[in-house]
Structure 1
Amino acid sequence: PAQRLAITTAYEALEMAGFVANSSPSTQRDRVGIFYGMTSDDWREVNSGQNVDTYMIPGGNRAFTPGRINYHFKFSGPSYSVDTACSSSLAAIHLACNSLWKGDCDTAPAGGTNVLTNPDNFCGLDKGHFLSKTGNCKTFDDGADGYCRADGVGTVVLKRLEDAEADNDPIQGVILGAYTNHSAEAVSITRPHAGAQSFIFDKIVNAANVDPHDVTYIEMHGTGTQAGDGVEMQSVLDVFAPTNRIRVSPLHLGSAKANIGHGEAASGVTSLIKLIKMMEKNIIPPHCGIKTKINHTFPTNLTERNVHIALKPTPWIRAEGKKRKMFLNNFSAAGGNTALLIEDAPISVARREEDPRSMHLVAVSAKSKPSLQKNIQSLKTFIERNPDTSLPSLSYTTTSRRAHHNHRVMLTGSSLSAIQLGLETITLQDDISPIPASTPTIAFAFTGQ
């Protein structure tokens, strides 16, 4: 299941990114690398272990998750399966960034999976006093007593900014810095260390030449444990809101785990996707982890230090000519710490010239006839819900920024209504024939003299 869902989210992310293999220098298949974080083998340990067969290893071993994505899409760049426990997916994203910065690859789908099917891991985590005995992750709450496990699978597509701009990609955000270290000085391997976290925060903002006071939101790890929440708050405040320098701009803190649980290996990519949606919607969602009162280990002067935990939807507007900066922290029970510094994407300048063409092509493609019919219906629904969509943009997206398969229909029209009418007509047809999946054999016949 983890492999199947990883392939599914990878395909969806590539579609959303407008990725078409071999269409530009940065999309060559031999320049695409896959990076995934995983920390458990639940399916192999329990499900496939009940009936060992030929597919137990390729169907359950962690290395086969990124490897299967490489193989399925014929991406022959790097392939990494990363295990750093709870920070696995963000560590994988850090490795992907390093690979891009170093020039080892040009496009990097990265993420993580956490599919829970083994009750033994629940039992072990409970015996180790990791899990809450009362339910959800009560992040920042004084009654925090552990975390609630959660399934999760997520994928993001990473490219160097200059390549994404050259390819006219839909850029959701920019990673300014990433780093990973270990809390080797902690009192035990499973406890976080404020000094190690503060070090990584300082290193990232200094390397990116960013003033910590310019960071206006931090997505914290926030599992809802007494030790973890208190130590993380200390390290965040030491760097981003020290007592000897009062912040001018407010700093908001939050954690997705109070909403959706702790996705363990997938928690980092989940939090990154949350940040992307926050930038898109221009709002900080309310934090729902405080059920009684704020954790007693937190400083009592957060408001005086201009640090806030949003308890209701809070506008987060991008100032004209500026970029919001945000930070993402992710650490693991094995001592690893990974963090990212992120900012808004560059504002794209829309082309204002009128398209001189009177007719435009719109394509719909799929691997099978049922999928083609569903995709046609999805496009019809999209047009109905978005009547102001630009027809030239729709034509560009469906013809040039989508992978095309052996089932495909092409429509022409001078307006969205004409395209919609064409889609209605195609839906009623049953004689749509696929093109051959492979190149047909060519034969020559020589008649002689």
Structure 2
Amino acid sequence: MQNQNKRDPSIDIAIVGIGLLYPGAKDLMTFWRNILEGRDFITETPSTHWSMADYHEKNTRREDKIHCTRGAFIPEIDFDPVEFGLPPRLLQSTDVVQLLSLHVAKEAIRDTVSLSHEKINRDRISVILGSSGPTQLATHMGAKIQKPVWLNVMKQNGIPENKAEEICETIFQQYNAWDEDIFPGYLNNIVAGRIANRFDFRGMNCTVDAACGSSLGAIHMAIQELILRKSDLVLAGGADASNMPASFFSFERTHALSIAGDCRPFSADGDGTVLGEGIGMITLRRLEDAERDSDKIYAVIKGVGCSSDGRSNSIYGPSSRGQSIAIRNAYEAAGYSLKEVELIEAHGTGTQAGDRVEFQGLIKAYGMLDSCKLKSDALNSGKLESSESKPCELKADELESDALKPGELNSDKYKYETDGLKPDDRQCCALGSVKSQIGHTKSAAGVAGVIKSALALHHNIFPPMIKVSRPHPDMEIEMSPFYLNTVSRPWIHQIGDPRKAGVSSFGFGGSNFHVAMEEYMGNGVKPEKIENFPTQLLLFSAPDIEGLRCEVDGVLFRLDLEPYTRLAMQSIAHFDHSAPKRLAILAPDAANFKATAGKAMELISKNPDKSLSVPDRFHYGTGENVARDIAFIFPGQGSQYINMGSDVSMAFPEARKVWDRSVDCQCFQGKKLHRVVFPVPAFEDNDKAARMAELIETRWAQPAIGAMSASLLKLLTLLGITPNYA
């Protein structure tokens, strides 16, 4: 357990605001719901980016062609340059990553209470973002200066000089004109500088280039600014807004892109990554300051670990040794062991070599820390100490090899005190990667994982990772403390102890970063929960049928102006159960609501004085709403099934807390009830059958049904529903 008394709490950092633009998501609510629903945003490259006819060819031996045509792309947004003080003429001279980063920064700032209320001196607000590689505009303008090359080639091939000059000039005019705004318009550091300029932030501004680890590098630097008290708020994150052909060419030549055109992290059929675009930003403050100024707190960052791979066989090849050092450093700073962490958002690119090395790095870090504890002055000494008060240093022979051999995970060298435990009892830490849904967003990849993990901690949900047919057999994951979480599951945890998560991000050149995070359990402000219901309930009431039609039409009109979920909540708030005409509609999305509402009003209009119900779609009531007796009937043995009640527990915290209280209960052979009801996901049919067989046993079935019934009863009580009979 974490020893809070021996760690300086002033170095805790709160995430107090979030802004983002990722494939399939323009806002935080959509991003989280996409994750929970397991939606896939990897598609064919749109014509707005590049033409397959120009660059694609199945024969990948050609240096000027690529085979992978799929990626993940950010959605179009409305962008008003005047809103950000940019004359429209500057758009052609400014890279898209700078423009879109202004939009995302605005959203993060709007989400930060202390900024919205001007509680912070702008001299002490900094902007530090990860951004790597050439921007799209830089590549574009770099091509323009190749005119001498074009001209020489044409003359060498017999084209008369005057004709060659004419052709070259035509090509030259295809590119943007050089002007005084082009240079700052394509520089990476201006991504941060333009934000600081527009919003008048006068602290430090810069960008960090650690390749695909850039955004976590930026977060690490931001935290240092806050700990050293040089800044009072830092806008941090990463930006990568261009899946241009140069990126595809570059990644393909390192054999990183998927031949199948998909990203399947840690899966047996994973064959590479796909490239994504994205921008993610978080606002960071010292926790004590955030609590004082009533900022809403998504999660707390307890420590960041970083390392370099040192000497290796390849400058772009990953090293489990280097990665394990970064992970170890993160938990030294956090003040607790990796063994307490129940969720790891991995770098998880989907390449077999990268995923295997990353998994080995986690195994090494877990093994190193397993028998160690922190000294009281660990933050100052930078060392771990074993339970026998002897230094627990990294041994050269433990770090020499980057490849664990099959069977080595079960050796004494990496033993986990798991003798006698079944695989699903041993595995206690979920492993996932959002790249399976939005691709590898490069400079913005790490912060996407931080945002996902912060929301998982805040909502107490294990988010799923999609596209795993079965874990890669070389990992021998069933012998480890880790498992691949492929379905959304309630995060059941001991009451009073914060849930803990970690996020990894690694970059070419051996740049390794790991963030240790935990659930915020203080007395400060927490953000509202983002609804994750599979469907929405909309309620309408009026004195007559025409009034009811106006209520429905009003929501239909606003569907394109406001989020569907918000309209649903507003309809419930305005519902009058005593009104003569009452309509309830169930619909998962706006399109479904339009269709259902239209059909409902059509049928109701034919006989407005008769109640009508279509199961799972709508119910219409008319006349006096007469109260009737209510009876509660609870299920008996035989009704149990795996993950029963998971949707209720994920949607309603009070229902989940019933399960949290069960964690302290004495269970059979030390196994917890929630591990039987919400087990580690299984991939093989016999494993799935074994989990169900265990739940059917009377010793588990009866307490499981009892806990499930208590969970539902708690929810009904909170809703104010009391039975006349039970």
**Same-fold call, TM cutoff 0.5:** yes
Q: Indicate yes or no: 2:197 matched with 1:71.
A: yes
Provide Cα deviations, 1:83-123, integer angstroms capped at 9, x if missing partner: 11000011001100111111110100111111125312211
Distance (whole Å) between structure 1 residues aligned to residue 106 and residue 277 of structure 2: 19
Q: For 1:204-219, what aligned pairs fall within 5 Å after superposition?
A: 204-219=330-345
Provide Cα deviations, 1:385-443, integer angstroms capped at 9, x if missing partner: 25788xxxxxxxxxxxxxxxxxxxxxxxxxxxxxxxxxxxxxxxxxxxxxxxxxxxxxx
SS of 1:19's partner is helix
- Single out whichever of 314-323 and 191-200 deviates more from structure 2: 314-323
Q: Indicate yes or no: 2:550 matched with 1:344.
A: no
Q: Calculate percent identity across the aligned residue pairs.
A: 31
Q: Indicate yes or no: 2:193 matched with 1:18.
A: no
Name the CA shift for 1:148/1:171 in 2 (closer, same or farther; >3 Å).
same
Deviation at 1:258, TM superposition (A): 1.0
The answer to whether the 8 A contact 1:110-1:156 is kept is yes
Q: Indicate yes or no: 2:434 matched with 1:251.
A: no
Distance (whole Å) between structure 1 residues aligned to residue 283 and residue 443 of structure 2: 18
Deviation at 1:62, TM superposition (A): 0.6
Pairing partner for 1:385 from 529, 544, 569: 569
Name the CA shift for 1:20/1:209 in 2 (closer, same or farther; >3 Å).
closer
Deviation at 1:331, TM superposition (A): 0.4
Q: Which residue of 1 aligns with 2:359?
A: 233
Q: Any gaps of 5 or more consecutive residues in structure 2?
A: 1-95, 143-174, 371-413, 419-425, 527-557, 574-726
Amino acid at match of 1:34: V
Deviation at 1:22, TM superposition (A): 7.5
SS of 2:335's partner is coil
Equivalent residues, number: 360
Q: Which residue of 1 aligns with 2:78?
A: none
Provide Cα deviations, 1:16-68, integer angstroms capped at 9, x if missing partner: 122336733xx110000001111133322344552222221121111111000
Q: Which residue of 2 aligns with 1:371?
A: none
Pairing partner for 1:296 from 464, 473, 476: 473
Q: Indicate yes or no: 2:127 matched with 1:34.
A: yes
Provide Cα deviations, 1:356-381, integer angstroms capped at 9, x if missing partner: xxxxxxxxxxxxxxxxxx9xx75999
Q: Which residue of 1 aligns with 2:136?
A: 43
Q: Which has the higher helix share?
A: 2
The answer to whether the 8 A contact 2:327-2:513 is kept is no
Pairing partner for 1:98 from 213, 224, 248: 224
Distance (whole Å) between structure 1 residues aligned to residue 185 and residue 439 of structure 2: 27
Distance (whole Å) between structure 2 residues aligned to residue 219 and residue 213 of structure 1: 15
The answer to whether the 8 A contact 2:305-2:326 is kept is yes
RMSD: 2.5
- Single out whichever of 14-23 and 177-186 deviates more from structure 2: 14-23
Q: Indicate yes or no: 2:306 matched with 1:184.
A: no
Name the CA shift for 1:330/1:380 in 2 (closer, same or farther; >3 Å).
closer
Deviation at 1:330, TM superposition (A): 0.6
- Single out whichever of 196-205 and 211-220 deviates more from structure 2: 196-205
Distance (whole Å) between structure 1 residues aligned to residue 114 and residue 315 of structure 2: 41
SS of 1:93's partner is helix
Q: Which has the higher contact order (CA 8 A, sep 6+)?
A: 1
TM-score norm. by structure 1 comes to: 0.75
Q: Which residue of 1 aligns with 2:658?
A: none
Q: Which residue of 1 aligns with 2:104?
A: 9
TM-score norm. by structure 2 comes to: 0.47
Q: For 1:10-409, what aligned pairs fall within 5 Å after superposition?
A: 10-20=105-115, 23-24=118-119, 27-47=120-140, 50-51=175-176, 52-240=178-366, 243-246=414-417, 250-291=428-469, 293-299=470-476, 302-348=477-523, 382=566, 385-386=569-570
The answer to whether the 8 A contact 1:194-1:234 is kept is yes
Larger Cα-atom Rg? 2
Deviation at 1:187, TM superposition (A): 1.8
Deviation at 1:197, TM superposition (A): 1.3
Q: Which residue of 2 aligns with 1:357?
A: none
Distance (whole Å) between structure 2 residues aligned to residue 340 and residue 109 of structure 1: 17
Provide Cα deviations, 1:249-283, integer angstroms capped at 9, x if missing partner: 81111111111100011001111111122123322
Distance (whole Å) between structure 1 residues aligned to residue 209 and residue 518 of structure 2: 27
Name the CA shift for 1:34/1:325 in 2 (closer, same or farther; >3 Å).
same
Deviation at 1:382, TM superposition (A): 4.4
Deviation at 1:207, TM superposition (A): 2.7
Deviation at 1:237, TM superposition (A): 1.8
Distance (whole Å) between structure 1 residues aligned to residue 339 and residue 363 of structure 2: 11
Distance (whole Å) between structure 2 residues aligned to residue 278 and residue 17 of structure 1: 19
Distance (whole Å) between structure 2 residues aligned to residue 22 and residue 42 of structure 1: 35
Provide Cα deviations, 1:310-341, integer angstroms capped at 9, x if missing partner: 12222113532110111111101221001100
